[in-house]
């Protein structure tokens, strides 16, 4: 996969704005403007990761004490840089941040900022954060466990598990859903648009729309009623709704809720003691609370956000330590077989992310020709990233709250201020 992924990762795609349902209200201008990608989309996070990996690789090459020994230690006092980077992110506008890097020779974790927009309690290393699309790795793990059990194959048709789920598209398979090659749109905007109000500047209506309790069936109804960017198997189109459908398939064949499956077959085996799979609004304890910034309006707290807006594509909360435990367990073959891991990390289509089945790849700045594997997640008020080396020996994860939804993706702070030193530390 190496050459194909390397080529794909050099391309920065345009993120298409999904067409709203006919008759639906407009989204707030910052989210729905054709001039900019939707702020929910993680593409700018992935672009930042690629840029950070490239910059880190350049620094690694310049700092090697022995150019003939790739993979050797970087002669650098990295801890002060990491601590200072967290402070920079908060000083530039983030509310709270926690981050960690684990290697055979380094164990670093720290936090900066505060837990809540209105509070003074400090962010902690063990503060949970809503990790959004990092949930997809957990769902993909469950799906691959069912493949290994013989329940289905990757080429099993959705129609054969839940007849009529995607009306008129019986050819969609489990592989299509895992790899975002079903052709369906994102689904999240199609879901919330009818409830977002008629005024595109009505942020109160928008917050109300993302605070509603949605059913999985409503997610599927929304994409079935919307235009699809593509046809099954013809190309890559990132879709939250596809992972909502995978959760429905898992519940159909196991008779258990996805929450129970994640707890028993992912969280507990991986030792993710602080992670949860909520379906109601609100975060408790030392969690980092989401908030969004809107030019002309200021900060808006999102404590009423309902994770059913994402459901099985992004409902999970986790700590950075738990995210490390998860990616380590996954890559080490503790949750699925190594054969399944290989299928998950293998490029599944001609896409710019190195996306496989629930994971994607970025070039490993420490090991030329190799990759770091994982995912990221973006809600309207938080960001998260979780990456691991293929052998499971090195991990990094971060979670940050406070997002600018009007000026530009994460315009309040430069994510690479922390990503570059974390990637360097992962060497």
Structure confidence at residue 199 (pLDDT): 83
Structure confidence at residue 107 (pLDDT): 93
Q: For 219-335, where are the E strands, in sequence order?
A: 291-294, 298-301, 317-318
Residues near 160 by beta carbon (within 8 Å), at least 6 away in sequence: none
pLDDT per residue over 113-130, tens digit each? 999 999 999 999 999 999
CA distance 4 to 22: 39
Calculate mean pLDDT across residues 235-262: 97
Structure confidence at residue 21 (pLDDT): 34
pLDDT per residue over 16-62, tens digit each? 223 333 333 445 554 543 223 334 556 778 888 888 988 999 998 88
Which CATH code for domain 2-425?
A: 3.40.710.10
Per-residue confidence band for 198, with pLDDT thresholds at 50, 70 and 90: confident
CA distance 229 to 329: 35
pLDDT per residue over 204-219, tens digit each? 999 999 999 999 999 9
Average pLDDT, the chain: 87
Domain ranges of the chain: 2-425
Q: What's the whole-model pTM score?
A: 0.89
* Strand, coil or helix: 426: coil
pLDDT per residue over 143-157, tens digit each? 999 999 999 999 999
Residue 351 φ/ψ region, left for φ over 0, alpha for ψ in the -120 to 50 degree band, beta for the rest: beta
Nearest CA among 302, 333, 314, 326 for reference residue 376: 314
pLDDT per residue over 302-360, tens digit each? 999 999 999 999 999 999 999 999 999 999 999 999 999 999 999 998 888 899 999 99
Q: What angle do CA 345, 364, 75 make, to 5 degrees?
A: 155
DSSP string, 151-170: S--TT-BGGGTSTTSSTT-T
Tokens of 405: 């939804």
């Amino acid at each position: 996969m190496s050459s194909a992924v390397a080529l794909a990762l050099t391309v920065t795609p345009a993120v298409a704005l999904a067409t709203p349902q006919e008759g639906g209200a407009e989204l707030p201008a910052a989210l729905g403007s054709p001039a900019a990608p939707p702020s929910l989309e993680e593409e700018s996070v992935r672009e930042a990761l690629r840029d950070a990996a490239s910059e880190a690789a350049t620094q690694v090459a310049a700092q090697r004490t022995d150019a003939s020994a790739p993979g050797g230690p970087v002669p650098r006092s990295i801890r002060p840089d990491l601590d200072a980077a967290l402070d920079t992110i908060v000083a530039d506008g983030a509310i709270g941040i926690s981050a960690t890097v684990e290697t055979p020779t380094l164990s670093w974790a720290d936090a900066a900022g505060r837990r809540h927009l209105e509070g003074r309690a400090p962010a902690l290393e063990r503060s949970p954060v809503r990790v959004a699309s990092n949930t997809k790795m957990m769902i993909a793990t469950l799906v691959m466990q069912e493949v290994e059990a013989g329940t289905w194959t990757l080429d099993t048709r959705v129609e054969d598990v839940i007849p009529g789920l995607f009306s008129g598209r019986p050819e969609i398979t489990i592989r299509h859903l895992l790899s975002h090659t079903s052709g369906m749109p994102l689904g999240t905007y199609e879901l919330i648009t009818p409830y977002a109000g008629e005024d595109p500047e009505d942020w109160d209506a928008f917050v109300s729309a993302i605070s509603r309790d949605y059913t999985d069936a409503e997610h599927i109804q929304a994409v079935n009623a919307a235009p699809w960017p593509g046809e099954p198997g013809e190309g890559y189109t990132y879709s939250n709704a596809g992972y909502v459908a995978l959760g429905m398939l898992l519940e159909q064949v196991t008779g258990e809720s996805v929450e129970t499956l994640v707890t028993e077959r992912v969280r507990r085996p991986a030792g993710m003691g602080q992670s949860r799979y909520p379906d109601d609004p609100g975060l408790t304890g030392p969690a980092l609370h989401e908030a969004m910034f809107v030019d002309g309006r200021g900060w808006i707290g999102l404590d009423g956000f309902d994770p059913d807006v994402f459901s099985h594509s992004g409902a999970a909360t986790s700590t950075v330590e738990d995210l490390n435990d998860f990616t380590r367990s996954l890559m080490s073959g503790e949750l699925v077989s190594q054969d399944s891991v290989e299928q998950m990390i293998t490029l599944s289509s001609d896409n710019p992310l190195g996306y496989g089945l629930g994971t994607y790849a970025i070039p490993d700045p420490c090991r030329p020709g190799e990759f770091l594997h994982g995912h990221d997640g973006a809600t309207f008020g938080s960001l998260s990233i979780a990456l691991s080396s293929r052998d499971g020996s090195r991990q990094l994860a971060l979670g940050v709250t406070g997002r600018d939804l009007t000026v530009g993706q994460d315009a309040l702070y430069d994510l690479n201020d922390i990503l570059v030193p974390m990637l360097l530390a992962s060497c």
